[in-house]
Structure 1
Amino acid sequence: MKGINDILKDRILQTFRAVQSEEKWKVCVVDSKSMKILSAACKLANLFEMDIVSIDNIDKPRQSHPKLEAIYILTPCLDSIQRLVNDFSKSEGPMYKCAHVHFTGALDGSLFSDMNRRVTEAGVAKYIRALKEIFVDFLAVDSATYTTDYSFQTPANFFTCFGTTEYNRAEEDLKDIAKQLLAVCAVLGENPMIRYHRPLDLEGVENRYLPSKLAKALQSELDEFVRQNPEFPPSRDPPVGPATMFILDRTIDSCSPFLHELTYQAMMNDLLNLENNGTKYSYEYNEEESGVTTTVRKDVVLDESDNVFVEVRHLYIQEAIDKLTTEFRELIGKGGIAKTGDSLKDLNAMKDVVARLPQYQEMKAKYGVHLDIAQKCIDIFTQQELRSIVELEQDLACGETHDGHTLKNIVDRMTPLLDDPYIRQVNMGKAYSDG
């Protein structure tokens, strides 16, 4: 079964294939937000295979290509619309031969009217060959995960929905999120039944109606989309019933963000210095060639093209290590790779064996990085006394011990951990928050 990232990728590439162009080579023009969508869903090579010779950001100064047609992938907003109009109303002539314009989401009535006015007044309508809404306004993180928050490191929606009155723009943000969730449904070909969480109606609870408001906003968007597209959702063979979408807020599980997660991918992101939102990892290993050992530094991308990562990312760390070591032993056993007397008792020994295998580059790339990651996670877990911290966190979060007994001596358990200078403050901060 295809994941949401592959489905989104197919939809975007089909958009390029569907362009009726007089020329073979074309330019792709994006804005900063739509560029994030393309980057998350496709590789540059995918776009170049669509006969794209250049990817230009409409928000920045660009070289003109008056002999090439342009495929615009734009966010439906006034800034991008005005820049589109400016591209074809310059005194020195249009930047491109013509424009095939695609918006990542729906243009509401007022925005469409404003765009029509600007295009007409500037006299650039003759350059616009096509105008479509492709509904791809979300980021696909992996095969089963997507987000409507483009900032990742600074989740702006959290503060505007749950912040103080001065910064609260919940109604406005919920409408935007509903439009993005509509794009998710359109890409998946689903008109789902919507179920939402209703938090307890306690006075003073900030924005306790958010899930119901978002559910109603999304239902309104879906109803309008189905009205304009009577054949949606597409039929399936064999027929299946509608999917169900659950809309929840953090109040349904407020403790999880403050707990250490002990699965492989979660520990990587929590304990190691990863870049690019947890997908880029740098490590060093020793490589032996002709009797000479050299230290090599390598950057790797941890995504779904790495089948080893896909298999272990959601496993409990010990299960992930067991799987890595078992598969590694099977590989070297089948190939007769390890030297007689090689000890493979721990991860470091396995890393040393991998380093001596210049003729097995693919296996080195697949297992070397994950053996290194697993070993570093275990080292930090031990050095930072995380076992004691995790057990304390779980007891505090559950209100009882793992065997159902009443909590006792909590302060006595916390004090030596708080006094230990080698334990990171962020680790104890989690336990303290739970308490």
Structure 2
Amino acid sequence: ACIVEDLYKSREPVLEMKAIYFMTPTAKCVEALIADFKPKPKYKAAYVYFTDYCPDELFNNMKLYCAKYIRVCKEINISFMPQEAQVFTCDNPEAFQSIYSPHCQDKKKKTLETLADQLVTLCATLDEYPGVRYKKDSNMVNAKTLAELVDNKLARHYEMDDSGKKKGKTQAQLLIVERGFDPVSPILHELTYQAMAYDLIDIQSDTYKYKSKDGAEKQALLNEDDMLWVKLRHKHIAEVSEQIPKMVKEISANKKQPDGKITISNLAQMMKKMPSFRKQLTEDLAVGLDVDGQKVKDPMRTLLPVLLHPYSTHDKIRAVLLYIFSLNGTTDENLSKLIQHVKIEDQREFILNWKELGVPIITSSSIFNRKPPRRDRSQEEKYNLSRWTPVIKDVMEDAVENKLDTREWPHQSECPAAWNGSGAVSARQKHKASAQDERRTGSRLIIFVIGGITYSEMRSAYEVTQAVKSCEVIIGSSHILTPTSLLDDIKVLSKGPMEVFTIDERSNA
């Protein structure tokens, strides 16, 4: 039998048992370990596994006080969270404030250092020594700073271990970009299943709570172990609504899963309540074209029906933001009128604070910024209400096809040999699922977004991977965003300082 206990809690001695310690290399954790063996041992022996590099000082303390009890002591380099098969986070939502709040500038450097350390452990775990590139931005330097830190730390790591530079192996690419690079994706009403669920329903820690027919409260975990969820999460809600009744019948007939697992249909029913015309209007603002492919000439006319309808304040703020993003900024006078219309005079921060992310909000009417061109996806569109594609998907496809402009995406160190995704075909060319085995030995493209990723961006990593012959796309960030959580984070950017989060201060053991 195996017992899992908290390192910091008081525990009874079990002298006949050996203990496995899985912990971060902090002074607090090491002190707790030493206390288990000094003055008297609680266990027969200790097998110690650190999630990251352990400083010499902590090693020496362990050696001094409990060396004779330690059978194994290893650093396993996993100071990141694998959220899904192709998604990771640094489990650090607080990084958003530390990096973007003007009140936390003294903490920014330490936070970026921590993120860099975590990215290096990710690369070490994947056995990759990637070429590092970043999105150049005249207003923001966080991506450049993080790229420098990661590149230097990778060089130091692989001075001691050159396993990431295997002969015949295509070098991976790591692209670093800031959240302000694409402000539309986290604000838009997404209509694919996973993104829509996390937008409309209060799902905490990937757990969906609901009531059964008899009124009892139940919960379902939405993760990689639920094959039905994995199969449906990236599909459009219209497809999910069609497929679920059939799948539920099959599952019930085959008795492959208990009834408690069939919660996906309940979840889908809840998401049908959103009025379709609101979805279409916000989609028109995001794409800049209507359903017929015609340019939206007067975005304000598109916006007004949303503002006049009794939607929630958050939904109206999202619509106003999409309007501003569609113009790449608006005049102070125009913004004041919009804020009065939505009646959020005391909550202007929801909109104004986007400037801290380098997103143009107030712009002179004569110098509206030109928006960069997007890929033509008119042939790919299946639904009128899902015409927006996250900008990061364009970047993924350009990177795989070796089309990224080096002026916009500079190489942090020396430019590597021409990277083509290890024989990757065009990202538009569909490929059979059997390519999965090929990808394992092929190349990797790692994307890191400073300031959070959206569920639609996560989906993009899977879509590009499926379309490419031999390149796996992995995406990560400090944390995963929902529209509500991002707006709440944006609002408090202008508030006072918050505690910075670093690896050293984490209490998990």
Q: Same fold (TM over 0.5)?
A: yes
Deviation (angstroms), 1:261: 0.9
Do the aligned partners of 2:83 and 2:89 also contact (CA within 8 Å) in 1? Answer: yes
Query: For residues 13-60 of structure 1, what are the alpha-carbon distances to aligned partners after superposition, in whole Å with 9 as ceiling and x for unaligned?
Result: xxxxxxxxxxxxxxxxxxxxxxxxxxxxxxxxxxxxxx6x22222222
Q: How does 1:220-259 map to 2 (within 5 A)?
A: 220-232=152-164, 239-259=168-188
Give the TM-score, by structure 1 length: 0.66
Q: CA deviation at 1:296?
A: 6.1
Moved over 6 A (4+): none
Q: Aligned partners of 1:217 and 1:417: how far apart in 2?
A: 44
Partner of 2:321: 433
CA deviation vs aligned residue, 1:303-343 (integer Å, no higher than 9, x gap): 222222111111111122233345567x4xxxxxxxxxxxx
**Structure 2, unaligned runs of 5 or more:** 324-509
Q: Secondary structure at the match of 2:319?
A: helix
TM-aligned CA distance change 1:406 to 1:417, over 3 Å: closer
Name the aligned partner's letter for residue 99 of structure 1: A
Distance apart, 1:104 and its partner CA? 0.4
1:407 corresponds to which of 287, 290, 297: 297
| DSSP-derived class of the 2:181 partner | helix
8 Å contact 1:194–1:215 — kept in the other structure? yes
RMSD: 2.8
Counterpart of 2:297, as a letter, is L
2:15 paired residue among 63, 66, 75: 66
The counterpart of 1:147, out of the listed 89, 92, 115, is 89
- Aligned-pair CA distance for 1:64: 2.3
Larger Rg: 1
- Residue of 181, 205, 219 corresponding to 2:151: 219
Residue 279 of structure 1: aligned partner: 207
The letter of the residue matching 2:132 is: I
Contact (CA 8 Å) 1:159, 1:167: kept in 2 or not?
A: no
CA-CA distance at 1:158 after TM superposition: 0.7
- Quick one: distance in 2 between partners of 1:226 and 1:57? 34
**1:284 positional shift:** 2.1
Indicate yes or no: 2:72 matched with 1:130.
Answer: yes
In the TM superposition, residue 389 of structure 1 has moved relative to its aligned partner by 2.5
Equivalent AA in structure 1 for residue 81 of structure 2: L
Deviation at 1:360?
A: 5.4
The residue identity in structure 2 corresponding to 1:218 is V
Q: Quick one: structure 1 residues 88 and 367, their matched pair in 2 at CA, closer, same or farther if it must change by over 3 Å?
A: closer
Higher relative contact order (CA 8 A, sep 6+): 2
TM-score normalized with structure 2 length: 0.57
Q: 1:168 to 1:389 in 2, by over 3 A?
A: farther
Q: State whether residues 220 and 261 of structure 2, in contact with CA within 8 Å, keep that contact through their aligned partners in structure 1.
A: no
Report the secondary structure of 1:175's partner residue: helix
Give the counterpart letter for 1:410 in structure 2.
M
Amino acid in structure 2 at the alignment position of 1:267: M
Give SS of 1:195's match: strand
Q: Distance in 2 between matches of 1:161 and 1:129?
A: 41
| 1:233-284 per-position Cα deviation (integer Å, ceiling 9, x unaligned) | 567xxx53122121111122122111111101111111123232x3334242
- 2:16 paired with 1:56: no
Structure 2: distance between partners of 1:406 and 1:416: 15
